[in-house]
Amino acid sequence: MKWKFSIVSLAFFLVVFTARSQPGDLKKYLKNDTSVAMTRLVSKSDSANFYFSIAMEKKNAREYPEAVGYFTQAIKMDSSMVSAYVNRAYAKNQLLDYKGAIVDFNRALRFKLTWEEQYEIHFNKGLTNALLDNLKGAMADFDYSIRLKPSYADAYYNRSIVRGMVGDYLGELKDINYVISLSPNDAQAYNSRGIVHSVMGDYPPAVEDFSKAIELDKGKIDAYFNRALVYYQLKKYLEALDDFNKVIEVRPDAETYNRRGNVKCRLKDYKGAFEDYNEAIKLKPGEYVAYLNRGQVKYDLKDYQSALDDYTQVIKLKPDCFLAFYFRGITKRKLKDLKGEVEDYTMAIEYKPDYGSAYNERGMARYEMGDMSGGCDDLNMAVRLGSNEAYNNLVKHCK
């Protein structure tokens, strides 16, 4: 009987395009000076202006707790001082007090504001709502900002990010296309559009966009990283390797070493892959994916006991990793531990009940242990879950 499993690829895209999916990807953070109008001394109260001036010095020096205190003093002297509310919101954001920042933005919006002040405050409030995962609120603020200023590229950009976060990829693409029409030399916009194309499975235009981002900004490391991911999907492993090499020259992090190791596996450079996984583990010992991938390389090199150790480490780091239980079960077969093999497939099924391959392997292990009824039950379940290999095994062993 021939036992096979797919090496490495299952773990490669556990996180597909990490450069896009979190609120932290928002392109434009709260500005130090929300607008010229927001930072001039606008109070009739000399005391308010005095505290405001000190607060701005503290804020610009990144002494945010002190800045919040002095903005609060300014507001006590003049409760209508819009610039104090807005700049206090900025300082609160830096202190991760997003809810407090929203309160200040809302207070500022109660006053009579200029057109520029309105769209800037709504824009910054939208960013803060996104950081709070209030995506509906963020969308509303970006929409309002765009209504006030239809050519506001940053608002379109950040609205596109939020649309992507809620799964509206066509809307995201529409917004990012408009950003590029407004700012045709914006490398980050091309990088983001490349990500949208990638998520939608449109790989050739994704490569074009990442390449354009690199052309506009040779230091755009995220674009090299993302293009490497797409090259991997297109099976252009040498091109992917070149891009990951470039990333590692500038940003030698654990994830890039891990992903480059996967590319080297595809190129059958197992020694190089092994070294990259080791480096990934050294840089980030708590990252389970590198152990999983290294275990698969060790298995392929017939170092079964060492592979078993890596899969066990994965389970310690991530107890619900069904792949680790499955691969450890495969490895235990090589070590002639049929009982342990069955136990591991059972755990893989517990964490992924529709895992047809685990049912197939457990069925064959049970069959070999003499539990023909249990084995055939598992094979039947694997067939129902779409396993072609299980169908062949069922026909052969469970007539």
Domain limits of the chain? Answer: 336-399
Class of the CATH-defined domain 336-399:
mainly alpha
How confident is the model at residue 187, as a pLDDT?
93
How confident is the model at residue 42, as a pLDDT?
53
Taking the C-alpha atoms of residue 84 and residue 91, their distance in angstroms, rounded to an integer, is 10
How confident is the model at residue 34, as a pLDDT?
40
Q: Residues of the chain whose pLDDT is less than 70?
A: 1-45
- For 114, list phi and psi in degrees, rounded to 5: -75, 165
How confident is the model at residue 18, as a pLDDT?
33
Q: Enumerate long-range contacts of 182-185, CB under 8 Å, 24 or more apart.
A: 182/151, 182/153, 182/156, 183/153, 185/216
How confident is the model at residue 241, as a pLDDT?
98
For the purposes of burial, counting CB atoms within 10 Å of the CB of 132, is it exposed (0-12), middle (13-18) or buried (19 or more)? middle
Helices (H) and strands (E) in the chain, counts: 23, 0
Sorted by sequence, the CB contacts under 8 Å of residue 12 that are 6+ apart come out as 232, 259, 262
Q: Contact, 394 vs 376, CB < 8 A?
A: yes
Taking the C-alpha atoms of residue 300 and residue 295, their distance in angstroms, rounded to an integer, is 9
How confident is the model at residue 122, as a pLDDT?
95
Taking the C-alpha atoms of residue 367 and residue 111, their distance in angstroms, rounded to an integer, is 76
From the CB of residue 37, how many other CB atoms can be counted at a distance below 10 Å? 16
- For 93, list phi and psi in degrees, rounded to 5: -60, -40
How confident is the model at residue 43, as a pLDDT?
54
Taking the C-alpha atoms of residue 132 and residue 304, their distance in angstroms, rounded to an integer, is 46
Taking the C-alpha atoms of residue 355 and residue 337, their distance in angstroms, rounded to an integer, is 21
pTM for the predicted model, two decimal places:
0.80
Taking the C-alpha atoms of residue 259 and residue 64, their distance in angstroms, rounded to an integer, is 39
In sequence order, what DSSP letters do the residues of 75-144 get, joined into one string?
HHH-TT-HHHHHHHHHHHHHTT-HHHHHHHHHHHHTS---HHHHHHHHHHHHHHHHHTT-HHHHHHHHHH
Q: Contact, 148 vs 173, CB < 8 A?
A: no
Instruction: Report the first-to-last Cα separation within the chain, whole angstroms.
Output: 17
For the purposes of burial, counting CB atoms within 10 Å of the CB of 99, is it exposed (0-12), middle (13-18) or buried (19 or more)? exposed
Q: Contact, 394 vs 377, CB < 8 A?
A: no
How confident is the model at residue 340, as a pLDDT?
96
How confident is the model at residue 396, as a pLDDT?
87
